[in-house]
Amino acid sequence: MTELLRLADIRVAIPERMILHRGFAGKFFRFLPNSQGLNEEYLYSHQPISRRKLPVYSTSAQPIGYLDDSEETRGKFNVLTKPAIVVARKGYAGRMFVVEDEKFIVHEDGYGIRPKTRYADSINPYWFVGHYSAEFQSYRTSDYGIGDFPRRRFGKMKIIIPRMDLQNKIAILYKRREELLRQSDELKNKAAAITNTIIRQNIPS
């Protein structure tokens, strides 16, 4: 587990000569509206009945549910379009991931961000997520014992932005890192399942 944590925290150092911009994250990103009042109970009682559906994201890269892509849904919640990054506000507070769906909704436990128009061609979202997600999670606050990473916290995080060609190269490395972590998790889960099976088979009935 320690090795996996170290791998997840590893990031490529940026040479000073390659840095184009530096400053607070709020200077480079704008916030997108999330959807208040959208909880697990609502998702359970409004499961989609048509083929056209909208994924709902919360604190991880896997949707927590789906809603019909209908006038009712659009009238009730904010439907976003790609490209966008989702920042977890609760739970895994500070975790970031890129949403690749054409249209989607963000649960109230997270919020979407997007580079401001001026910097849209200067930021590779996959590089940004890979480079800063672990760091941002380490700066979450704690209110009543609950991890939190509010918009004001994100906006005040100091970041650097290197040249786009370097971002693109590093983003490939970060993607490989995620694949290795995923494969390690799968192997760990398989090993645990095999161990549990062996234990059950050898316990006297």
pLDDT of residue 8: 63
pLDDT digits (tens, 9 = 90+) for 10-34: 788 999 999 999 999 999 999 998 8
Q: Which segment of 126-130, 165-169, 174-178, 195-199 scores lowest on mean pLDDT?
A: 195-199
CATH of the domain at 81: 3.90.220.20
Name every residue whose Cβ is closer than 8 Å to that of residue 54 and which is 6 or more positions away in sequence.
66, 67, 68, 69, 73, 79, 103, 104, 105
Mean pLDDT of the chain: 88
**What pLDDT band is residue 1 in, cutting at 50, 70 and 90?**
very low
pLDDT digits (tens, 9 = 90+) for 143-189: 544 578 999 999 999 999 999 999 999 999 999 888 887 777 777 77
pLDDT of residue 91: 80
Name every residue whose Cβ is closer than 8 Å to that of residue 169 and which is 6 or more positions away in sequence.
none
> Does residue 9 lie within any of the structural domains?
no
Contact 192/198 with Cβ under 8 angstroms? no
pLDDT digits (tens, 9 = 90+) for 70-108: 999 999 999 999 889 999 998 889 999 999 999 999 998
> Does residue 12 lie within any of the structural domains?
no
> Does residue 112 lie within any of the structural domains?
yes
Handedness of CA 107, 138, 7, 170 (dihedral sign): positive
User: Mean pLDDT: which of 4-8, 59-63, 189-193 is highest?
Assistant: 59-63
> Does residue 115 lie within any of the structural domains?
yes
> Does residue 99 lie within any of the structural domains?
yes
pLDDT digits (tens, 9 = 90+) for 156-169: 999 999 999 999 99
Backbone angles phi, psi at 11, to 5 degrees: -145, 160
pTM of the shown model: 0.82
Amino acid at site 92: Y
> Does residue 193 lie within any of the structural domains?
no
> Does residue 148 lie within any of the structural domains?
yes
> Does residue 61 lie within any of the structural domains?
yes
Q: Write out the residue range of the structural domain in which residue 118 sits.
A: 20-161
Number of domains into which the chain is organized: 1
